[in-house]
Amino acid sequence: MKKNIFPSIISQLILLVFVIVWILPTFGLFISSLRDKDLLANSGWWTSLITNEINEIYRTGKQESQFQQDNFYQIKGNFFNNVEGKKISSFGVTSKSINEYFVGEKAILKNGSEIIVFENGDYIWKSKEPFTNKNGKRIFITATSPPKFTLENYKEVLFKEGVGQAFINTLTVAIPSTLIPLIICSFFAYALSWMKFFGRDTLLAIIIASLVVPLQMSLIPLLSIYNDIGALFNIGAKSYPGVWMAHTGFGLASTTFLLRNFIKSLPHEMIEAARVDGANHYNIFTRIILPLSIPAFASIFILQFLWVWNDLLVGLVFLDQVPSEIILTAKLRELLGSRGENWEILTTGAFVSMTVPLAIFFLLQRYFIRGLVAGSVKG
């Protein structure tokens, strides 16, 4: 008994490490998607629950906002637009000395004007001569900012950037592209397992051999066939039915192979007993095979759904890149090019793309391992 404890502890620790390695990036992505964009640009997600010190650059008001008081021309304002929480600890008027002055101290500029910055972001810029600076004065500040979470990132991504429509488009692609091959392959796997017909073993060998064919090799020939069919029936190949059939074709071999392994592992005596009682193949399939194959169907559903959901290549080839058809992965690629510096947009879009696969996996995960290992051991 003692000899078996140590390997068990090692395996549990290894499993714990894998869980942590998988959860941490997901958790970090979620926290980043809820953070204020200014904080996200200056600090990591692991600092989201503590007060952060950040360096920022602001500009004072322009010459149009000046007024005369007490024999001085003055420009007043607030750098933070009265946003609560931020507090300035120091500031500077040049990039070489960004922390030269403490809040409340008077900074003398080269032109003789003076500026005072206060802790809450208020500032007063005074000069004996009228201001002629058209763009205002650039001020460097060091401020502390408390933890701040917001849903504005999600509002912008879903409704302004078009990710919401891409999310719906991806669901429109993924659900049929998962269910169609699952339905077809369930009948096919049953036939390969329990029906005797000429060429069954040869057909199974062809299916196994097709598993090694790269997806990229068949994309263009398949698109050419769809174009010919679309021209014949006046239907465009780049449409939802086209991408459904493409995903179905690419998933037939692996889905059939996995389902066949599971169905073949079911007790032979049970099938024979059903035949003795007068059940035909349809009755055996619907009343015996389907209820017992739920773990296999769930695991295949997860695998096929995740593949289709995360697909980019097939979606680019078989769908037009317009708002009504663009899928989520293509939209994220587009955002990476146009909004690559906006981390709040990218992290929020990435987490939106993960929500459905995570929900599907956690809902069906109890069947997942059972379905994958079924048929690997006889008896």
Q: Which domains does the chain have, with CATH numbers?
A: 2-48 (no CATH), 52-145 (no CATH), 154-373 (1.10.3720.10)
Q: Please tell me the predicted confidence (pLDDT) of residue 299.
A: 86
Angle value at C-alpha 337, between 335 and 343, nearest 5 degrees: 60
Per the CB < 8 A criterion, the answer to whether 226 and 237 are in contact is yes
Q: Determine phi and psi for 234, rounding to 5 degrees.
A: 60, 40
Q: Please tell me the predicted confidence (pLDDT) of residue 169.
A: 94
**224-227, long-range: CB within 8 Å, 24+ apart, which pairs?**
226/318
**The 3-state secondary structure of 216-232, one letter per residue:** HHHHHHHHHHHHHHHHH
Q: Please tell me the predicted confidence (pLDDT) of residue 184.
A: 92
Evaluate the CA torsion angle 77, 82, 86, 87 in order and state its sign. Answer: positive
**238 SS3 class:** coil
Burial 42-69 (b: 16+ CB within 10 A, else e): ebebeebeeebeeebebebbeeeebeee
Q: Please tell me the predicted confidence (pLDDT) of residue 378.
A: 46
Report the phi/psi class of residue 104: left, alpha or beta, with left for phi > 0 and alpha for psi in -120 to 50: left
Q: Please tell me the predicted confidence (pLDDT) of residue 1.
A: 46
> What distance in Å separates the CA atoms of residue 41 and residue 36, rounded to the nearest whole number?
9
Q: Determine phi and psi for 144, rounding to 5 degrees.
A: -105, 135
Q: Please tell me the predicted confidence (pLDDT) of residue 371.
A: 58
Q: Please tell me the predicted confidence (pLDDT) of residue 82.
A: 64
Q: What is the pTM of this model?
A: 0.77
User: Under 8 Å CB-to-CB from 206, ≥6 apart: which residues?
Assistant: none
Residue type, 89: S
Q: Please tell me the predicted confidence (pLDDT) of residue 374.
A: 55
In which residue ranges of the chain is pLDDT below 50? Answer: 1, 375-379
Q: Please tell me the predicted confidence (pLDDT) of residue 236.
A: 57
